Amino acid sequence: MSASIKVFAPATVANVVCGYDVLGFAVNEPGDEVIMKLTEGSGIRITKITGDEGRLPLDPQKNTVSASVQHYLNHIGKPDVGVEIELHKKMPIGSGLGSSSASTVAGLFAVNTLFDNLLTNKELVPFAMKGEELACGYGHADNVAPALLGGFVLIRSYQPLDIISLPHPDDLYAAIVYPEVDVPTKDARQMIRSKVLLKDAVTQWGNVAGLVSGLFMKDYDLIGRSMTDILVEPTRSILIPDFYKLRSLAMKTGATGFGISGSGPSVFALTKDEATARAITQKLQQHLKGIGINSLSFVSEVNKKGPVILD
Amino acid sequence: MSASIKVFAPATVANVVCGYDVLGFAVNEPGDEVIMKLTEGSGIRITKITGDEGRLPLDPQKNTVSASVQHYLNHIGKPDVGVEIELHKKMPIGSGLGSSSASTVAGLFAVNTLFDNLLTNKELVPFAMKGEELACGYGHADNVAPALLGGFVLIRSYQPLDIISLPHPDDLYAAIVYPEVDVPTKDARQMIRSKVLLKDAVTQWGNVAGLVSGLFMKDYDLIGRSMTDILVEPTRSILIPDFYKLRSLAMKTGATGFGISGSGPSVFALTKDEATARAITQKLQQHLKGIGINSLSFVSEVNKKGPVILD
């Protein structure tokens, strides 16, 4: 065996404002790349990681890519296959854009392709969730499921896992800005209260239902009206510099809706077209620069494919 | 003026299990009838109420039908118009089937028709909510909105009011059984805890999103899987005799999903066809009879029209 494959998997925006832990969508950029080769030897080796500034472990038991690939190999009854992995991080770590998820999904898609697609992308979700557990102490699916399936994804239930692909308007764009401040996912989760008022929960699930309806109806206004989070955003926004100012700028510049990507600090807007998305990232980056914060930005259509083979 | 009109408005199933306070649907039967006549005199008179066993007030300020009609007349700038109303209750009061809502909606649809449909049915919702406030101390919309619009309705938001009509599979049937025990809406609401665990709320809004998706996708399995309520049903079910036995019987007989209608004590199942719905009501009524409880049952398609003019 000497097959080799290069795979791209997309970044993702989890929660989508009101859908904490149940909604997410994928974008066309950024994302990560994995090059994988089956070898004559035995066991998984990570031969190279680029773009991580030395932050990710090469130890195959600690790295989320290799760990989830090992789960996959165990599952298909080939635990001792030799695998060499190169990971090329093409997106910031700890940015709230599903960085670990993109790497893990690229690895799983690669190994599954090398083994003739024994599993569907949907069936790969639980393996990717194992990687998330390793990366952030909690096996959530709202990044890995959209990274694997593309588009918008609903995780209706975790036990049992029940994943539904949702439609979206064809021309929906995402404008993402990553302010370069540090917000570890674990801390961001721990800040959130464990109890909430039922009446606030009702408000929230009205919005979740509205967002899902808006996606099916391709109704931008309804999507936008529904992108309101009264439970999690008020807490998480504290960690994001000038969050409400950024929101106000985005909305004034024509955003359909705006919010925190995953646990932050990245923020995102959904827009009806590319020009609006670009105008928003420009305004937001300008504002952040004005308060002394460097940022990165990404503009792309909502991803429709999930991971893809490159070359 | 001596125009007269007879209107039917449908019963409704609020909450639809997971969608507490935000979802509801209408059925073709039961429902209430209102006969309304504009008169030369001034002010609203309730000339007759049948089918209420003397439980509803004839005082136009206390009766939900006349009170909401008065709100409507005030709004259109004709507060002193003479109106005579006959209300024919054709459904049980306090059953959890939107009894007050059916009467109120029939009255509002009648007066709006007599005034050449100055408002749309959707615009009538806030007037009907005034009636609900009078009837149960809380101006909710999850009965009146589906009664006015037919089909499944989402109340995305109460402030501002945002009502979305949802699609449903054409052949969706409802099987309703009303065990004749008393569960006042006010008490049923007060039993519910005001605080909930965020993780339970997440489970709930996953199901709400799943149910809405299932309705759009016409996916009976997804509709059924999503009809789970971990927040409200565990408390409310205490007031319903043998609730979990009834659920088990309904599901074994082929129900897509099963739950409490509104605040109970009526229970309902959604089914793929009429025969299954009939089999379910039969099994449930038989069981209730066995434990000494009288019941009424109703089987109908999900209502597609809202209120209609009779004759």
Domain-wise residue ranges, chain B: 4-166, 173-301
Question: B161-166 and B152-158: which strand pairing?
Answer: antiparallel
Instruction: Compute the distance between CA of residue A249 and CA of residue A224 in angstroms, rounded to an integer.
Output: 15
Tell me the chain A residues in contact with residue B164 when contact means C-beta distances shorter than 8 Å. 210, 213, 222
Task: Report residue B188's pLDDT band, with 50, 70 and 90 as the boundaries.
Answer: low
Q: Which of A185, A271, A276, A281 is catalytic?
A: A185
Query: Are the C-beta atoms of residues B160 and B151 closer than 8 Å to each other?
Result: no
Per-residue pLDDT averaged across B208-220, rounded?
98
What topology does CATH give the domain B173-301?
Alpha-Beta Plaits (3.30.70)
**Residue-level pLDDT at A1:** 46
Per-10-residue mean pLDDT for chain A, 311 residues long? 85 97 97 96 95 92 94 96 96 93 98 97 96 81 97 96 97 97 70 90 98 98 97 92 97 98 96 98 98 97 96 78
Question: A227 touching B, CB under 8 A?
Answer: no
Residue B106: closest CA among B300, B298, B310, B262: B310
Tell me the chain B residues in contact with residue A192 when contact means C-beta distances shorter than 8 Å. 198
Task: Report residue B24's pLDDT band, with 50, 70 and 90 as the boundaries.
Answer: very high
CATH of segment(s) B4-166: 3.30.230.10
Residue A126: closest CA among A188, A113, A112: A112
User: For B102-142, what is each residue's pLDDT tens digit?
Assistant: 999 999 999 999 999 999 999 999 999 998 888 777 778 99
Q: How close does chain A come to B127, measured CA to CA in Å?
A: 21
Question: B240 touching A, CB under 8 A?
Answer: no
What topology does CATH give the domain A4-166+304-309?
Ribosomal Protein S5; domain 2 (3.30.230)
Is A9 annotated in a binding site? The answer is no
> With 90 as the cut, is the pLDDT of residue B189 above it?
no
User: For B74-84, what is each residue's pLDDT tens digit?
Assistant: 999 999 999 99
Burial class (CB in 10 A: 0-12, 13-18, 19+), B197: middle
Question: Distance of CA B304 to CAs A144, A224, B72, B96, B148, Å?
Answer: 39, 28, 24, 20, 10
Tell me the chain A residues in contact with residue B198 when contact means C-beta distances shorter than 8 Å. 192-196, 231
